[in-house]
Amino acid sequence: MTPLLALFDAIDRVLACIIKPIVALFGFLIAVMLVVGIVSRSLFNSPVFGLEELILVSVMWLYMLGAVLASKERTHLSADFIQTFIKNQTIVKGCHLLASLISLIMAVMFVSWSYDLAEWAIKKGQSTPVFGLPWYLSQSSLFVAAVLLVFYILRDMLQDLSKPHS
């Protein structure tokens, strides 16, 4: 393993220790909030005021961090049908690297866009109507996820480049 890949691996382990408990916590909180919302509406005929705001922030973070975990574990959706048609491993590897490069370009564009969105939300100072939660609490999840996706795409590209030729 190259020193750069070892660094990526160390950062990856730290990120996993941070992200996995957060995803579990948000998943649990969302389930509890949904149950509370359903029970209060159906049994007590009284909605919990502002619950949707808390669910929105939690769902945004859960979804974005879940996408990061899928990227980390390489379990995100992909259309790897090239090796079905092409048996030359050099061409297959080239196609994988091209796909990774396109993904990296798109992810960097997403970082830029999500940064602009978060910056705009901070400047505007918009907040939710009930609890006054700043909108950037949920919108910043897009930026964090985009940065982490770039990290994992770079890691995957380095791993693919370091694999021996078959």
CA–CA separation, 102 and 151 (whole Å) = 14
Residue 165 has pLDDT above 70, yes or no: no
Q: What is the pLDDT of residue 86?
A: 80
Buried-exposed string 45-72: b where 16+ CB fall within 10 A, e elsewhere: eeeeeebebbbebbbbbbebbbbbbebb
Full-model pTM: 0.87
Q: Coil, strand, or helix at residue 127?
A: strand
The 10s digit of each residue's pLDDT in 119-147 is 999 999 999 999 999 999 999 999 999 99
Extents of the domains making up the chain: 3-162
pLDDT tens digits for range 44-53: 999 898 999 9
- Look at residue 153 and tell me whether its pLDDT is greater than 90: yes
Q: pLDDT tens digits, residue range 89-119?
A: 888 888 888 888 999 999 999 999 999 999 9
Place of tokens 């995957």: 156
Between helix 51-72 and helix 3-42 the angle, nearest 10°, is 150
Residues in contact with 78: Cβ distance below 8 Å, sequence separation at least 6, in sequence order: 99
Q: Tens digit of pLDDT for each residue in 67-85? A: 999 999 888 766 666 777 7
**What mean pLDDT comes out for the span 17-24?**
96
**Cα gap 57→68, rounded to integer Å:** 17
DSSP code of residue 132: -
Mean pLDDT of 47-66: 94
The reported pLDDT for the residue numbered 114 is 96
Question: Which pLDDT score is estimated for 99?
Answer: 85
CA distances from 164 to 50, 93, 95, 150, 159 (A): 55, 11, 16, 24, 10
Helix, strand, coil % (nearest 5) of the chain?
Answer: 80, 0, 20
> How confident is residue 64, by pLDDT bands cut at 50, 70 and 90?
very high
